[in-house]
Chain A
């Protein structure tokens, strides 16, 4: 029994430290919270050498905040000291806030303690720029390294790359982290120049393409030598702030699409801008974060990645912004009524996927189920299809789709009228 006890390493904070560390956590979690990439998915890390933890493909949300967002990782800044002055950021140099910094040991210890209690899937560490980029990046790397090597920690680690950090440090970071991210912050270069004058596009693009190439090299290496260490197995992601600058949804999605293609990103995250300070370059301090817009952008992102849509099918010069009252797939369908209604017992999978109110899972069930039996609306209801939208766009035995004398505006009116009771924000 006593021997077993020794197996588990203990981490203790010195007495009297607790007040201080609570204060730090409060400040450094608060400043990190606007970063939306909560997901811890996409990585598989087995628990090796009977160490602690594993990472299994699907990220787990251990809790949900009162605003309904997933809490999966301990998401904190190492410090909110910063030498830069980005207008949209709470930690900007010119902002009058209390500045604190964790030590490497504090972050390591808290991660271990939280993980052992099943509070979190791992660590998401970002930081303001302390002294200079490499000085800061070196500390982030040291934390990841200590967790992996000294504590045999196999949980999830996401590190943010500090703009301007050297390639050597980025490479080392990628050997310990599951995911690295470089934030593009704003959808266009003009906005970046205006709102983050000390950052430049090169500082963002260079590490992104370095990470992409290192990932590719690493995949080849792993094919040759099975045990070559993996470089960011969960790939890289980025984040864009929505509503701090004047770009249209079309521009935002074009940028996202090109980032996916150029740098093979795993995810682009869209973050509704929450005003943190009065600044004439930014929306008013009392304006609300554009949450609905953020949601529609995510829906569009899904249409691009999983539903076979291209950006220019969804937007055009007369519709550069998404509609807020209906989802983007429905908007597209209403513009393309000549392609509907779709016969669910005959149509290709690709076309079924384009029916509003119907997701990937239901589309697969339709294609599987119709081999056994002609499908009716009752089957679709059981598959969980949102018939209030879908029924206008499909036909099956006993159902003829929308009335042919209705135009797009009338169908939309009917759907919205039928929708008033249920106000949930579902994906399609």
Chain B
């Protein structure tokens, strides 16, 4: 058994797939360095992330995939599942082994599982396009913190950049401790040095714009007023709006 250990990046993962093929390693397994546990019975080979190699693998996939197929692969990567490397390697092996596109082969458990993971990620992406709540900070930046189950920031960035093209914003993932910052030109990744949770959730009032408190109140008033008491259905409410998101939602903070 040969263990290919890459740096945890998506490019690294694609490079690893390239190396597996180049090394003609039949009994290969992929591991991210971030979770790798050395094994004395296996040979370890370190993968050096190489964008030329990564690109060749991506292009190879591109030729045999629909945009959805490409998105599925990226989604499995973003899922942070412990078996994501195993799933993806098996998937690439099938893609490159067959002459026809296998994307729609829903009789294969592997394809079904990958499309399920992708759907899950997509649902999470869709949720956070909805559940981000910006707070208007002094200095005219709109700031939001989120805590998604999967690493969906890279997927939601383009949506917010298009929608809020004329305002500067930051969306910060408190679990993975990095954020996206849009400066009216482009979106970039940002890191903060040790942000305490309390600050992320409860910004001190001297840091927020004057209009912020009133707008939050108005939004809460609105949320209360549109509820139809006669139709109350908390089970349905929690199904659509799982409790774990509440602490980040302005309307649920009261």
A60 near B130: Cβ-Cβ < 8 Å: yes
The minimal Cβ–Cβ distance linking A131 to chain B, given in whole angstroms, is 26
Q: How many residues from A make CB contacts under 8 Å with B?
A: 65
Neighbour of A29 across the interface among B107, B112, B159, B225, CB < 8 A: B225
What residue of chain B has the Cβ atom nearest to residue A121's Cβ?
B130
The minimal Cβ–Cβ distance linking A398 to chain B, given in whole angstroms, is 14
What residue of chain B has the Cβ atom nearest to residue A52's Cβ?
B166
Q: Which residues of the other chain, A, contact B232 by a CB distance below 8 angstroms?
A: 66-67
B249 near A63: Cβ-Cβ < 8 Å: yes
Please give me the 7 A-B residue pairs with the lowest Cβ-Cβ distance, nearest first: A373-B107, A68-B236, A369-B106, A67-B231, A29-B225, A64-B240, A368-B104
Indicate whether B35 reaches chain A with its CB closer than 8 angstroms. Answer: no
Contacting residues of chain B (181-212) with chain A, CB-CB under 8 angstroms: 184, 210-211
Q: How far is B252's CA from A119's CA once the two chains are assembled, in angstroms?
A: 12
B237 near A68: Cβ-Cβ < 8 Å: yes
Indicate whether B1 reaches chain A with its CB closer than 8 angstroms. Answer: no
A75 near B107: Cβ-Cβ < 8 Å: no
Q: How far is B109's CA from A369's CA once the two chains are assembled, in angstroms?
A: 11
On whether A383 and B227 interact (CB within 8 A), knowing A62-B130, A116-B136, A119-B250, the answer reads: no
Neighbour of B134 across the interface among A51, A116, A373, CB < 8 A: A116
Contacting residues of chain B (37-78) with chain A, CB-CB under 8 angstroms: none
The minimal Cβ–Cβ distance linking B113 to chain A, given in whole angstroms, is 9
Q: How far is B221's CA from A370's CA once the two chains are assembled, in angstroms?
A: 52
Indicate whether B135 reaches chain A with its CB closer than 8 angstroms. Answer: yes
Q: How far is B250's CA from A112's CA once the two chains are assembled, in angstroms?
A: 17
Q: Which residues of the other chain, A, contact B249 by a CB distance below 8 angstroms?
A: 63
Neighbour of A8 across the interface among B107, B167, B217, CB < 8 A: B167
Q: Which residues of the other chain, B, contact A114 by a CB distance below 8 angstroms?
A: 215, 218-219
Identify 20 new A-B residue pairs, CB closer than 8 A, beyond the known A68-B231, A370-B107: A12-B210, A33-B228, A52-B167, A67-B231, A68-B236, A68-B240, A69-B228, A113-B215, A116-B164, A117-B250, A118-B133, A119-B133, A274-B228, A274-B231, A369-B106, A371-B104, A379-B106, A379-B107, A382-B112, A382-B116
Q: Which residues of the other chain, A, contact B168 by a CB distance below 8 angstroms?
A: 4
Indicate whether B82 reaches chain A with its CB closer than 8 angstroms. Answer: no
Q: Which residues of the other chain, A, contact B165 by a CB distance below 8 angstroms?
A: 47, 50-52
Indicate whether B10 reaches chain A with its CB closer than 8 angstroms. Answer: no
Q: How far is B228's CA from A67's CA once the two chains are assembled, in angstroms?
A: 6
Q: Which residues of the other chain, B, contact A63 by a CB distance below 8 angstroms?
A: 130-131, 223, 241, 249, 251
Q: Which residues of the other chain, B, contact A117 by a CB distance below 8 angstroms?
A: 133-136, 142, 215, 219, 250
Counting chain B CB atoms within 10 Å of each CB, the highest count among A13, A114, A369 belongs to A369
Q: How far is B229's CA from A375's CA once the two chains are assembled, in angstroms?
A: 46
Q: How far is B112's CA from A392's CA once the two chains are assembled, in angstroms?
A: 24
What residue of chain A has the Cβ atom nearest to residue B235's Cβ?
A68
Neighbour of A369 across the interface among B104, B133, B135, CB < 8 A: B104
The minimal Cβ–Cβ distance linking A424 to chain B, given in whole angstroms, is 8
On whether A365 and B237 interact (CB within 8 A), knowing A61-B130, A66-B232, A74-B222, the answer reads: no
Q: How far is B214's CA from A21's CA once the two chains are assembled, in angstroms?
A: 10
Q: How far is B200's CA from A220's CA once the two chains are assembled, in angstroms?
A: 52
Q: How far is B105's CA from A383's CA once the two chains are assembled, in angstroms?
A: 12
Indicate whether A26 reaches chain B with its CB closer than 8 angstroms. Answer: yes
A65 near B107: Cβ-Cβ < 8 Å: no
Q: Which residues of the other chain, A, contact B237 by a CB distance below 8 angstroms?
A: 64-68
What residue of chain A has the Cβ atom nearest to residue B225's Cβ?
A29
Q: Which residues of the other chain, A, contact B222 by a CB distance below 8 angstroms?
A: 25, 29, 74
A7 near B227: Cβ-Cβ < 8 Å: no
B233 near A52: Cβ-Cβ < 8 Å: no
B162 near A291: Cβ-Cβ < 8 Å: no
Counting chain B CB atoms within 10 Å of each CB, the highest count among A33, A118, A289 belongs to A118
Interface string of A19-45 (1 = CB under 8 A from B): 001100111011011100000000000
The minimal Cβ–Cβ distance linking B211 to chain A, given in whole angstroms, is 6
B230 near A288: Cβ-Cβ < 8 Å: yes
What residue of chain A has the Cβ atom nearest to residue B217's Cβ?
A22
Q: Which residues of the other chain, B, contact A33 by a CB distance below 8 angstroms?
A: 225-228
Q: How far is B229's CA from A34's CA once the two chains are assembled, in angstroms?
A: 11
Q: How far is B241's CA from A62's CA once the two chains are assembled, in angstroms?
A: 10
Indicate whether B126 reaches chain A with its CB closer than 8 angstroms. Answer: yes
Q: How far is B197's CA from A256's CA once the two chains are assembled, in angstroms?
A: 52
On whether A29 and B130 interact (CB within 8 A), knowing A52-B165, A113-B211, the answer reads: no
Indicate whether A71 reaches chain B with its CB closer than 8 angstroms. Answer: yes
Indicate whether A372 reaches chain B with its CB closer than 8 angstroms. Answer: yes
The minimal Cβ–Cβ distance linking A52 to chain B, given in whole angstroms, is 5
Q: How far is B231's CA from A110's CA once the two chains are assembled, in angstroms?
A: 27
Q: How far is B5's CA from A404's CA once the two chains are assembled, in angstroms?
A: 58
Q: Which residues of the other chain, B, contact A368 by a CB distance below 8 angstroms?
A: 104, 106
A65 near B226: Cβ-Cβ < 8 Å: yes
Indicate whether A18 reaches chain B with its CB closer than 8 angstroms. Answer: yes
The minimal Cβ–Cβ distance linking A105 to chain B, given in whole angstroms, is 15
Interface string of A134-171 (1 = CB under 8 A from B): 00000000000000000010000000000000000000
